[in-house]
Structure 1
Amino acid sequence: MKTRTDPDAGAPAAAARATLRLNRGITATWWYTVTAIVFLEVMIVGVWLVALLDAGLESGVLLAIGVGGLLWVASTLPLLFDYRLRTDASAAGIWPRAVGPLLVAVLFGAVAVVTTGSWLIALLPVSQTLMLLNWPRGVRLRVVLGVTLLLGIVWMIDAQVAFAAGGRLEDAGSWALLGFYSALLPTMTVASLWWWDVLATLDLARASEARLAATQERLRVATDVHDLQGHHLQVIALQLELTEKLLERDPDAALQTLRAARASVDEARQGTRDLATRFRSVPLGDEIANARDLLIAAGIAAEASVGPDVDRAPASDFGPVIRETTTNVLRHGGGRRARLSLEQAGDAWRYEISNDVAAHAVASSHGSGLDGVRRRIAEAGGRLEVRHTNEDFTVIVTIPVRQEQRP
């Protein structure tokens, strides 16, 4: 369920791939963040309109503030989408793409101050646009504190000086609400963006952890292969060197060392095969879970149970059996339910898979794959038992617990 990236790629390319993976992984959270910020901006435009309507301003002023406010909200969307792809490295280039939105905010603010006389309505669009820029670390906190303080001061100036002296909004009953939400908007916006940054950092950390785990696994495989092949190759080289020295003086001894070198080659080959088998093998608990998920995906109500010590069971024997019997159920069962189990029963490991069989499928329940399973289990010293009735078909496999598998 985790994606893989190439750990050997260059840093810029790796960062770009990590960003793409991050964006795909938490898209829902990002859209929630965008929706919340846009909602706050639209709400503040609505609060402005209510305050201006209570103040009795002309419909032309209300139309100008409403249309201008929506255009300003639309101008912030590119900054929000740019913020989604933000990195610390891109913080230095915060201004070029912000020129357009800032220009819209300034023009809207100019219209607002001319038509309403409110410097608070004029400054808030510019302040909000500044909050959406990709500021370097630590700068945004100082910016939001400064902007909030400035808006609070302008709010008090508008309310106590300009409007008290006969300004157009001196009788606005909702002016206090307008000032409160206007001064609080930058802080609420930064809080939403901070939450997104936290989730994005966590997602990137998970991706980095996955890459590190993959890298460590590759390193472990490389180390095991190096140790195995290095040891055997060194031994073979010494044996062949000894054979070369003995060839003229003692041909019989040279023949013995040559046979020993061939045996070392066989040991190296078998060791490599065993190493590859160990890394390809899937834990039996996962095999059972995968089989259950496959049956469920095929529309069969499947249940599975595993014993507490199944990791000690012979995976090389049971793995193919689990896969083959699951395929047998899918091909020949035709039923609606199945049950799998693997556990230790006394001195033997016991695997059982049972499913109900449709009437038309009973005759074909003996899939040819079961003959191969029977031979495989016989080679492992185990036994395969098949039970079938008109309603159920059951396969039971038992393999004795080997001495090295005992606790």
Structure 2
Amino acid sequence: MSALLPDSGLPDALGARRLSQGITATWWYTVSGVMIFQVMVALIWLTVLVGRDTDPLVVAVVGVTSLLWCAASVPLLLQYRHRDDSAGPFANWRGIVVPMAVAVVFGVLAGVLTGIWVFGALPIAQSLMLLNWPRGIRVRLLVIVMVVLGALSFIDLRTSFTDVDVRESSGWWLFTFFAVMLPAMTVMSLWWWDVLVTLDRARAAEARLGATQERLRVATDVHDLQGHHLQVIALQLELAERLLGKDDPDAALEQLRLARTSVADARQGTRDLAMRFRGVPLPDEIANAVDLLRAAGTTADAAVSADAAAAPASVLGPVIRETTTNVLRHGGGKWARLSLSLSRDGRYWRYEISNDAPHDSADTGGGSGLEGITRRVTEAGGDVHMDRGKGEFHVIVTVPGSAIGAEAGR
């Protein structure tokens, strides 16, 4: 896709920006999910305390400190977003010491005030799950934490809840379930984030590898072409030099003529090589344009006639690239449609691209790019028509079937 608009840099910029936005949104979904689950556990926690007729002052203190614990979890999550796989959980100890201290103080305070063990262990266990543990250690630690929380819940049920009605209340069982599952849900959410980051890094590495391979291929072709011709030219010039030393100027002149011919062949070969990389069949141009628009988040489709490969690519190729750039720069970004077809009489090719136009933009589609398209198409004997409808923008280009010859002669 980046080959579609090699000079603008726009596809890479737009694709990277929109992909970054999607990854950022996914990260905040992850943070929101963890925090909502944690706050919900804290609310159920308070419900259990109220159901036990706990002193209102204790309920108030536990409620306020539970909010502080939830707030202290946010810095740990923010640090996790930029985790380094090679770093340990305490590599950035200055950033975790305050949140961990809040969790420990809150856990001890809640455990002492309520006399319930799991209340004291849960904040510490949850905060430990948010640290940058290696994956293998994280799973083992999760198993240990869930077993400990389950055991403490059972102990609390046997020792702190003597009233049968309270012991059988749904609030306690609900809290027990969510308390044990909170670390597991947190680890699963962070694991999903790790998978997303790994896939994004793999995508970026694949893109860099593809670009590197393409550069190597071009460099190899240029080296083979130029190396051959330069070697021949060097031998011809060396032979001419020897012939001059033997007082045979006619033969030396013939070798110089051959060297000049080799130079011309090298120039033509280089020109042909450049045209081979530049010349993309129009169906491929449109397919690349659709892929590029979709990568930028636009819903795009195309209708291309079966014989589109015979269309004048030298004229319509730059038109397709420039109009695609125009949609990316000035379009609304929701939808785009492309079409390329031959007129019924077979005399003209008709290319059309339509897209949504932002309502707050009066110059949609403007700029020197479309002016350059108009000049190019006009010189090839064609016509360009632009139409701004209500919330839509259309560019219609018609060129004669023989435009390729006119363009090539130019």
Q: 1:98 to 1:368 in 2, by over 3 A?
A: closer
Question: CA shift at 1:47, angstroms?
Answer: 0.5
Give the gaps of 5 or more residues in structure 1: 4-18, 295-301, 328-337, 356-366, 377-383, 403-407
Give the gaps of 5 or more residues in structure 2: 4-15, 293-299, 326-336, 354-370, 386-395, 406-410
Report Cα offsets for 1:289-309 as digits up to 9, x if no partner.
789999xxxxxxx99632345
Q: Are 2:40 and 1:43 equivalent residues in the alignment?
A: yes
Q: Are 2:221 and 1:224 equivalent residues in the alignment?
A: yes
Counterpart Cα distance in 2 of 1:274 and 1:52: 82
Report Cα offsets for 1:195-229 as digits up to 9, x if no partner.
11112211111111111111111111111111111
Q: Among the aligned pairs, what percent are the same residue? A: 51
Counterpart Cα distance in 2 of 1:270 and 1:188: 65
Q: Are 2:24 and 1:27 equivalent residues in the alignment?
A: yes
Q: 1:202 to 1:304 in 2, by over 3 A?
A: closer
The count of aligned residue pairs is 347
Counterpart Cα distance in 2 of 1:387 and 1:38: 56
For the Cα contact (< 8 Å) 2:308–2:340, is it kept in 1?
no
Q: What pairs with 1:195-214 in structure 2 (closer than 5 Å)? A: 195-214=192-211
SS of equivalent to 1:86: coil
Give the structure 2 partner of residue 398 of structure 1: 401
Q: 1:151 to 1:371 in 2, by over 3 A?
A: closer
Question: CA shift at 1:159, angstroms?
Answer: 0.5
Q: 1:233 to 1:270 in 2, by over 3 A?
A: same
Question: CA shift at 1:273, angstroms?
Answer: 2.3
Q: Are 2:340 and 1:341 equivalent residues in the alignment?
A: yes
Report Cα offsets for 1:311-336 as digits up to 9, x if no partner.
46553354356679999xxxxxxxxx
Q: Are 2:106 and 1:108 equivalent residues in the alignment?
A: yes
For the Cα contact (< 8 Å) 1:131–1:144, is it kept in 2?
yes
Counterpart Cα distance in 1 of 2:340 and 2:137: 59
Question: CA shift at 1:251, angstroms?
Answer: 0.9
SS of equivalent to 2:135: coil
Give the structure 1 partner of residue 140 of structure 2: 142
- The TM-score, its normalising length taken from structure 1, stands at 0.73
Q: What pairs with 1:5-404 in structure 2 (closer than 5 Å)? A: 24-91=21-88, 93-94=90-91, 96=93, 97-164=95-162, 174-249=171-246, 250-285=248-283, 287-288=285-286, 305-308=303-306, 310-311=308-309, 315-320=313-318, 340-342=339-341, 351-353=349-351, 373=377, 376=380, 384=381, 395-399=398-402
Question: CA shift at 1:279, angstroms?
Answer: 2.6
RMSD: 4.2
- The TM-score, its normalising length taken from structure 2, stands at 0.72
Q: 1:186 to 1:386 in 2, by over 3 A?
A: closer
For the Cα contact (< 8 Å) 2:304–2:341, is it kept in 1?
yes
Counterpart Cα distance in 2 of 1:53 and 1:36: 26
Question: CA shift at 1:248, angstroms?
Answer: 3.3
Counterpart Cα distance in 1 of 2:26 and 2:152: 34
Counterpart Cα distance in 2 of 1:309 and 1:180: 65
For the Cα contact (< 8 Å) 2:350–2:397, is it kept in 1?
yes
